[in-house]
Amino acid sequence: METYRSAAPEARGALADELFARYYERVARWCYRFTGDRESAADLAQDVFLKAHRHLDSFQGASQFGTWLYSIARNESINRMKSSPPRATDDEEVLIDLPDLAPGPEDIAAYKSRSRNLHQFLSNTLDETERTVFTLHYGDDMPLDAITRLLHFDNASGAKAYIVSAKRKIARAVQRLSARGERL
């Protein structure tokens, strides 16, 4: 990257290509795991590199280059998925209700405190894997099959097993709270 910055403008294109080529496989693998098919993955990867190329001058070296490129791949993947129509598997999954949360407070300090309490509730209720899957699926709308591939779940139902057990545990914990007259 330092070499790129100190290079003459005419030489930068070739240097950028060389820099990006080192990450072709990582980005290809990520996109393949995210999308599940190679044609979509190639389209996604192309967009990732196009965006990275456009913003290369803004990379300040505050992080590793690979981490910077990762953040582009991550955001591009999630944005693309949000702009696609919901898939049948996700629709089916949404039918399983999540516990309803009590209305949130209006002011920022109270909202932050409540969010922190709910994060703590999840940490106390779920194991690490369930919490990770729950966060990615419900926090980022990440498809369960993408989570399964990205996090290498080799059990029969993949990430879905963890989301089902997470919801059961949350429901039971909410019932216990209700029995004590408390709300989530």
Of residues 55 through 94, those in contact with other proteins by CB under 8 A are 55-58, 61-68, 70-76, 79, 94
Give how many residues touch other proteins by CB under 8 A. 82
Region from 115-123, 155-163, 174-182 binding other proteins, contact rule CB under 8 A:
115-123
Region from 129-137, 155-163, 175-183 binding other proteins, contact rule CB under 8 A:
129-137
Q: Considering the complex, what minimum distance in angstroms separates the CB of residue 130 from other proteins?
A: 9
Which of 143, 29, 41 has the alpha carbon at shortest distance from 82?
143
Q: Is 93 exposed, middle or buried (0-12, 13-18, 19+ CB in 10 A)?
A: middle
- The reply on whether position 167 binds other proteins by CB under 8 A is no
When binding is defined by CB under 8 A, the residue of 84, 115, 155, 178 that contacts other proteins is 115
- The reply on whether position 45 binds other proteins by CB under 8 A is yes
Answer yes or no: are the C-beta atoms of 122 and 67 closer than 8 Å: no
- The reply on whether position 2 binds other proteins by CB under 8 A is yes
- The reply on whether position 50 binds other proteins by CB under 8 A is yes
When binding is defined by CB under 8 A, the residue of 92, 104, 157, 178 that contacts other proteins is 104
- The reply on whether position 3 binds other proteins by CB under 8 A is yes
H or E stretch at 173: helix 159-179
DSSP, res 11: H
Question: Within 36-127, where are the H helices?
Answer: 38-54, 65-83, 88-94, 108-125
- The reply on whether position 161 binds other proteins by CB under 8 A is no
Pick the closer one to other proteins by CB: 24 or 172: 24
- The reply on whether position 164 binds other proteins by CB under 8 A is no
Q: Is 162 exposed, middle or buried (0-12, 13-18, 19+ CB in 10 A)?
A: buried
Copy the structure tokens of residue 179. 């029995």
- The reply on whether position 178 binds other proteins by CB under 8 A is no
When binding is defined by CB under 8 A, the residue of 110, 141, 168, 182 that contacts other proteins is 141
Q: Quick one: CA torsion of 100, 103, 107, 113, rounded to 10 degrees?
A: -40
